[in-house]
Amino acid sequence: MALIVQKYGGTSVGTVERIQNVARRVKKRRDAGDDVVVVVSAMSGETNRLIALASEITDTPDPRELDVLVTTGEQVTIALLSMALQAIGCDARSYTGAQVRILTDSAHGKARISDIDDVRVHADLKAGRVVVVAGFQGVDEHGNITTLGRGGSDTTAVAMAAALKADECQIFTDVDGVYTTDPRVEPRARKLDRITFEEMLEMASLGSKVLQIRSVEFAGKYNVPLRVLSSFEEEGEGTLITFEEEGVEAAKISGIAFNRDEAKLTIRGVPDQPGVAYEILGPIGDANIEVDMIVQNIANDGTTDFTFTVNRGEFAKAKAILEQIASELGAREVIGDDKIVKISLVGVGMRSHAGIASKMFETLSKEGINIQMISTSEIKISVVVDEKYLELGVRALHEAFGLDREEG
Ligand code: ASP
Ligand code: MG
């Protein structure tokens, strides 16, 4: 007998019929003798609908009240799912985040879980019930309702699994697993049977939006085996996200991630002296703008060029700040480009295989794709290219690294 945490996302509980379908799946697992805790999202579109209601009143809703509002979405689904379970003879009980006591800090809209009280959940499981928990929400030490950030139900599920020491955390979603790349860009993308936490983090942070990033961090930290499965297919093992296994030779490359939301900024002709990087990036950081890649050229005339990438949505704001800095530093000019994308090869096998980077650059050059920036980490090589090359670049790399699905 195992203890399983299952999470169903918005599309999986998008209609009453689908909720009844989830109930049948949960019951099947329960009937097989396992203890089941279910975490659900709001019905698809509901969270957006609630946010839109708030924005009809104000552009700057009070974060505390916004959290009170948006958490109602999940409160609806836990009640409906519990009723659907009871209706088919499966004893079940629902809990909001505050009722479980998923304790968080007070950062409304992006709260972090600090503790989970598992007493009630264990008591219900012992009494033979399925426990249905509202995802995405918690409560702070003053009793205020908080939320964990968009997509936060994944993190609720992993955190519950960690707290309950569950055998597996299963994330049911509208895809049947994690793919080598986005199948909408490369139809020959292949489902992976396994991927490591580290690789999944890179894939997720680069825009493969299968799981909320924080949930993967959490799973890695607490060693919670995490499985992504389709909620619409009965069969299939999905993708298991787990630790790198000793002795098993890792594939060189597990996948190709990309991010369209990129923009780059360059400040040219800044004095090449200590403190300049700080003077440039300090105010950008103070404005809460996240910087990703950073490149500084070598200087030959006492000045240097400094380039970095930011999220496309923050391009205008970052550019205005940089122009201010440029005039203070006496820099030559600020140039920017918000028509760029980032493409990355991800794979733990890179650690033990040489020549991956050169093969990547060769592949892109054969397609006539100019590389604007490069960055590397132990298990990832990223390039910035013009956005018009995104599809071409991803497909060429997918084929070159042998990731294409075998035609059958
Ligand atoms: N309902 C929330 C959202 O749409 C949380 C979740 O679905 O995970 O972001
Ligand atoms: Mg989601």
SS3 per residue for 300-352: CCCEEEEEEEEEHHHHHHHHHHHHHHHHHHCCCEEEEEEEEEEEEEECHHHHH
- Asked whether residue 7 carries a pLDDT value surpassing 90, the answer given is yes
Give pLDDT tens digits for 75-111.
999 999 999 999 999 999 999 999 999 999 999 999 9
Same domain? For 308 and 168 the reply is: no
Q: pTM for the full model?
A: 0.84
- What is the side-by-side strand order in the sheet with 92-95? 92-95, 130-134, 35-40, 3-8, 168-173, 226-230, 239-242, 194-196
Taking the C-alpha atoms of residue 103 and residue 174, their distance in angstroms, rounded to an integer, is: 29
Residues β-bridged to residue 185: none
Q: Is residue 138 part of a domain?
A: yes
Percentage of the chain modeled with pLDDT above 90? 83
Specify the pLDDT at position 210: 77
Q: Is residue 340 part of a domain?
A: yes
Mean pLDDT, range 58-73, rounded to an integer = 97
Domain boundary among 132, 156, 174: 174
Specify the pLDDT at position 205: 65
Q: Is residue 384 part of a domain?
A: yes
Specify the pLDDT at position 176: 87
Domain boundary among 125, 145, 174: 174
Cα 332 to ligand 2 centre (Å)? 45
The kind and range of the H/E element at 329 are helix 315-329
Q: Is residue 263 part of a domain?
A: yes
Q: Which atom of ligand 1 is nearest to the CA of 154?
A: 8
The residue with tokens 């499985």 is: 227
Q: Is residue 182 part of a domain?
A: no
Same domain? For 44 and 162 the reply is: yes
Same domain? For 158 and 285 the reply is: no
Q: Is residue 335 part of a domain?
A: yes
Nearest CA to ligand 1 atom 6: 151
Specify the pLDDT at position 248: 61
Domain boundary among 174, 195, 225: 174
Neighbours of 161 (CB within 10 A): 28
Cα 70 to ligand 2 centre (Å)? 15
Q: Is residue 76 part of a domain?
A: yes
Same domain? For 310 and 168 the reply is: no
35-40 and 3-8 as β-strands: parallel, antiparallel, unpaired? parallel
Residue 315 belongs to what domain range? 256-400
Taking the C-alpha atoms of residue 257 and residue 208, their distance in angstroms, rounded to an integer, is: 7
Ligand nearest to the backbone CA of 136 = 1
Same domain? For 163 and 275 the reply is: no
Ligand nearest to the backbone CA of 70 = 1
Instruction: List the CATH number of the domain containing 141.
Output: 3.40.1160.10
pLDDT band at 247 (very low <50, low <70, confident <90, very high): low
Domain count, the chain: 2
- Mean pLDDT taken over the chain: 93
Residues with CB under 6 A from ligand 1: 9-10, 41-42, 47, 73, 135-136, 150-153
Instruction: List the CATH number of the domain containing 334.
Output: 3.30.2130.10
Question: Cα 127 to chain center, whole Å?
Answer: 35
Mean pLDDT, range 296-321, rounded to an integer = 92
Q: Shortest CA distance to 197 belongs to which of 185, 205, 189?
A: 205
Same domain? For 22 and 166 the reply is: yes
92-95 and 130-134 as β-strands: parallel, antiparallel, unpaired? parallel
Same domain? For 261 and 390 the reply is: yes
Q: Which atom of ligand 1 is nearest to the CA of 10?
A: 7
Q: Is residue 197 part of a domain?
A: no
